[in-house]
Structure 1
Amino acid sequence: MAARSLPPLNALRAFEAFGRHGRMTLAADELCVTHGAISRQIRQLEAHLGAALTEGPRTRLVLTEAGLKLAQALTLAFDQIDAAVPRPPAAGDRALVVSCLPTFAMKWLIPRLPDFVAAHPDIPVRIVESNGPFDFRADGVDLAIRMRLPTAPPSPDADVTPFLDHHVGPVVSPLLAAQAGDLAALARLPRLHTRTFLESWAEWEAAAGIVLPPTAVNREFDHYFYMLEAAAAGLGAAVAPWAFVAGDLAAGRLVAPLGMIPGQARVCALMPKARASRAARRFRDWLVAQGAATPPPAGSQQLVERARAKPLTLSPPAI
């Protein structure tokens, strides 16, 4: 058998990591080397092959057509090698690691989790909170739960399964709800914001076809769940997804005076392409069933339509 004529394996590994992450810094972090080392390995690989694998400014490099083809083939090959590597027997069943939006985990996922545990006692589940990007292999994630728009580009390394529709609207405490029976009264209340999504009020206004004047008081919180607790305490009005507040609305801790309107995004389960574990697939199927069993907010669109039909005339806010 003829000897294989392969490029340097370290260069291939560095290039594959860059192709998967799309950023030199993330590839360097995965391989525990410097940004410069990744850059040098890719330049050496291009020189060895006599072909350009990347293009664009140094700070925003993207793959060429040849680079994309090679990166995809390398990822598949490295995945096959990883799957074939013998490993010592595990000390016990490995937990299914689910990366999830923190407030969604607290308000929607964990209250339903006993149902999964009862149906699958052999699958231990560990919930890790995250709002940002993740890497299935580097972060040890089996399944991730994220909000995604229908217009989002296909993920190169993830199978995406929508499982829950998204609705959004303002929520207040029962005491403030008695004072905010119409849009004008609601607009005068202090507005609560979360730093994880400062666009919530603007997005809701655009979707509802409503323009609110500026408020005299804005209050900002680090996380959604802090903001929702502030709303329940009567500190102002917050815009929140239905999945985050359904339990508090049912319990009477919060009130949605204008109801909820459908949002464009959907809550989705993401699993690694072609190598999702059996436990991850079962959890994904359970999420789909739970999403189908979750009722949407009732009569919300009609409430918003009535609010939109009323002229919004406000006196200047007191400062």
Structure 2
Amino acid sequence: MRKIPPLAAVRVFEAAARHENFTAAARELGMTQAAVSHQIRLIEDHLGQMLFRRERQRVALTDTARRAAATIGTGLDMIESAFAEMRGDDEATLTISTTPTFANAWLAWRIGRFQMRYPDIAVRLLMQEGLADFSGDGVDVAVRSGHGDWPDLAAHRLIEQDFTPMCSPGFLAAQGGDIQPQDLLRLPLISPHDPSWACWLQQAGLAQIEARALHGIRMDSQANEGHAAIAGQGIAMLTPFFWKQDMSDRRLVQLFPQVSSLGMAYWIAYPEHRRRTRKIRRFCEWLLAEIGIASQ
């Protein structure tokens, strides 16, 4: 027989520990603050020790409770996943969270192939810049840029997030058909505030140039920056992988052989405890294969 407190109380403790705030936990669970306090006391009585230190206007986890909270949260995630896998509607829909750049410049052009291969899995695509909320937003997998070191997530490296200046053939022709690195200091750039510009210029031997000396329009994603460059609005710092077709079709021109990197990459990530979920496994296998084909 398992010697654990009532699961209802455990669920309350996990929320209270995550927020470290009884009011926020009550709001999330649809309970009163008094009911949350009551459930916490049940566990404390069961264990014979305090879980929270009651301070003036707040509560704080004890060291022992803080260590246990992470394990309990993982356990509840696994329970949730187990029940989710038993629900047909969960297995029938794959929710993907990704950046606007990865979606608009690459994934949206190919996701139909995945649905043709797995017609029983519907796809819901969310485009968001922030980190995915795997529980609150119902996200199954996320494609994100970074170093791949997200806690409690399994992550597979997709492509290096490298970059190099590009522009349209028309823009290049308007500059006499030739642009040198030092010309970037006077020409209109797209999102010159992005750290990739300073990195590339430094590696090109223009280390003395400060970012504020650059000028141009600011945009919120590489997808928009690439389209602005295609429209002839200036020079954009772009990842060649995303714009291969546009370069092949002569909508974009890579100005220099030098390609730089800040050490970032694009990754596919999902909760570690959902590694064996069929729809996640199928999508990861498909995406890694597609990336491999596109990289050739």
Structure 1 length normalisation: TM-score?
0.71
Evaluate the alpha carbon distance shift between residue 23 and residue 294 of structure 1 in structure 2; reply closer, same or farther with a 3 A threshold. farther
How far apart in 2 are the matches of 1:285 and 1:87? Answer: 19
Evaluate the alpha carbon distance shift between residue 105 and residue 201 of structure 1 in structure 2; reply closer, same or farther with a 3 A threshold. same
Alpha-carbon offset, residue 132 of structure 1 = 0.4
Q: 1:225-304 counterparts in 2 under 5 A?
A: 225-259=223-257, 260-276=259-275, 277-295=277-295
Alpha-carbon offset, residue 281 of structure 1 = 0.8
The answer to whether the aligner puts 1:175 opposite 2:174 as a matched pair is no
In structure 2, the partner of 1:78 is 76
> Which letter does structure 2 place at the counterpart of 1:175?
G
What secondary structure sits across from 1:249 in the alignment?
helix
The answer to whether the aligner puts 1:145 opposite 2:143 as a matched pair is yes
How far apart in 2 are the matches of 1:206 and 1:230? Answer: 24
What secondary structure sits across from 2:126 in the alignment?
strand
Deviations 1:196-249 (A, max 9, x none): x84332343356554335546321123333322222222211212233333322
> Which letter does structure 2 place at the counterpart of 1:202?
A
Alignment check: 8 A CA contact 2:164 2:254 kept: yes
How far apart in 2 are the matches of 1:204 and 1:14? Answer: 50
> Which letter does structure 1 place at the counterpart of 2:134?
F
In structure 2, the partner of 1:159 is 154
Evaluate the alpha carbon distance shift between residue 176 and residue 143 of structure 1 in structure 2; reply closer, same or farther with a 3 A threshold. same
How far apart in 1 are the matches of 2:70 and 2:4? Answer: 19
Q: Which moved more, 1:177-186 or 1:230-239?
A: 177-186
Structure 2: gaps spanning 5 or more residues: none
Q: 1:21-40 counterparts in 2 under 5 A?
A: 30-31=28-29
Count residues in correspondence: 286
Alpha-carbon offset, residue 159 of structure 1 = 0.7
> Which letter does structure 1 place at the counterpart of 2:273?
A
Identity %: 29
> Which letter does structure 1 place at the counterpart of 2:113?
D
What secondary structure sits across from 2:106 in the alignment?
helix
Evaluate the alpha carbon distance shift between residue 86 and residue 207 of structure 1 in structure 2; reply closer, same or farther with a 3 A threshold. closer
Evaluate the alpha carbon distance shift between residue 190 and residue 155 of structure 1 in structure 2; reply closer, same or farther with a 3 A threshold. same
Structure 2 length normalisation: TM-score?
0.76
